[in-house]
Amino acid sequence: MPVKKYQCQQCGYKGSQLLQGKCPACGDANIENVLKNPPAEKEACPIRMLLLITLWCILLYKGYTILIA
């Protein structure tokens, strides 16, 4: 079971427990869930690049065959 971690946007307090939904250090309700957004963009990037390169290859190839014919 993953432990939820929070960071206070007001004072920067990091912790896994909140005091009634508020920061235990300064009492502010501006809390961000730290584990909410795992870094997943690094895995999706190479696939997107490959797709883009493939699309460009098809486009260039089609343009080339039109020029020849």
- Residues forming contacts to Zn ion in the complex (CB under 5 A) are 8, 10-11, 13, 23, 25-26, 28
The amino acid present at 16, given as its one-letter code, is S
Tokens of 22: 């508020």
Distance separating alpha carbons of residues 15 and 33, to the nearest angstrom: 10
Return the number of the residue (19 or 55) whose C-beta is nearest Zn ion: 19
Instruction: Name the minimum Å distance from CB 15 to Zn ion.
Output: 9
Return the number of the residue (18 or 25) whose C-beta is nearest Zn ion: 25
Return the number of the residue (24 or 63) whose C-beta is nearest Zn ion: 24
Cα dihedral angle (15, 16, 19, 21), rounded to 10 degrees? 110
